[in-house]
Amino acid sequence: ADPIRFASSATYPPFESLNSSNQIVGFDIDLAKALCQQMKSECTFTNQAFDSLIPSLKFRKYDAVISGMDITPERSKQVTFTNPYYANSALVIAKKDQYQSFEQLKGKRIGMENGTTHQKYLQDKHPEVKTVAYDSYQNAIIDLKNGRLDGVFGDTAVVNEWLKKNPQLGPATGKVTDPQYFGTGLGIAVRPGNTALLNKLNDALAAIKANGTYQKISDKWFPAG
């Protein structure tokens, strides 16, 4: 059988990032590998810009997208998602102890990756905040550290990772979970007609949850939770 071609945007540790030998690693990657093993399929991974993942999937360049992607009503018009594999929330981080709420971020420059749910949420719900789009979250964090941004808005698990490494930064808002924008968890996207792959992925996900493999992968990448 042909390998299952996964696409991901490796800018988002602990979900996916490139290690020092330029290999794609992370929770999503280990999860996809475990699913492939469960399905007895080969799988390959390609690193691509986040906002190009859904278009490339539609063009059949890949078979599946696993990229810390929120299952949202809007995306579900274009792709089909597996059952959720991770419960998500979002958070703005900034210089430690500087802001506590979105009201205080009025007029401030908040960075995020292009094409993310964070970008859409801020644009729709907090037009008083200046949204600054980046090609990758990594570049947004660089600008937060050098003072070109006042904050960065991302998934809680991801921004927490940055907080651990940067003690000068801290949370600037409470956790945001608006399901209309951030959906019902993270899912793997496939093309709408590809029910064969969708069912195989959902069955494999249930199996690795039942046999403890999912928990092991989760403990490895999210040691605190």
Ligand X SMILES: NC(=[NH2+])NCCC[C@H](N)C(=O)O
Of 105, 155, 189, 198, which lies in the binding site for ligand X, with binding defined by CB under 6 A? 155
Of 43, 54, 63, 70, which lies in the binding site for ligand X, with binding defined by CB under 6 A? 70
Site for ligand X in 82-111 (CB under 6 A): none
**All residues at 6 or more sequence positions from 154 whose CB lies less than 8 Å from its CB, including other chains:** 12, 90, 91, 93, 112, 113, 116, 118, 137
Site for ligand X in 47-66 (CB under 6 A): 50
Separation CA 225–CA 222 (nearest Å): 6
Of 29, 64, 65, 68, which lies in the binding site for ligand X, with binding defined by CB under 6 A? 68
Which DSSP string corresponds to 100-128? -SSGGGTT-EEEEETTSHHHHHHHHH-TT
Site for ligand X in 111-150 (CB under 6 A): 113, 116-117, 137
Of 4, 7, 11, 35, which lies in the binding site for ligand X, with binding defined by CB under 6 A? 11
**All residues at 6 or more sequence positions from 134 whose CB lies less than 8 Å from its CB, including other chains:** 111, 112, 113, 114, 140, 143
Beta bridge partners of 24: 18
Q: Are 146 and 66 in contact (CB under 8 A)?
A: no
Is 68 or 111 the residue whose CB approaches ligand X more closely? 68
- The DSSP secondary-structure symbol of 3 reads P
Stretch that binds ligand X, among 6-14, 55-63, 202-210, 217-225 (CB under 6 A): 6-14
Helices and strands in the chain, H and E counts? 8, 13
Is 78 or 211 the residue whose CB approaches ligand X more closely? 78
Q: How far is the CB of 94 from ligand X (least distance, A)?
A: 18
Is 107 or 225 the residue whose CB approaches ligand X more closely? 225
CB atoms near residue 118 (< 10 Å): 25
Site for ligand X in 160-219 (CB under 6 A): none
Q: How far is the CB of 209 from ligand X (least distance, A)?
A: 21
Is 68 or 151 the residue whose CB approaches ligand X more closely? 68
Separation CA 41–CA 6 (nearest Å): 12
Q: How far is the CB of 40 from ligand X (least distance, A)?
A: 27
Residues of this chain that interact with ligand X (CB under 6 A) are 9, 11-12, 15-16, 50, 67-70, 113, 116-117, 137, 155
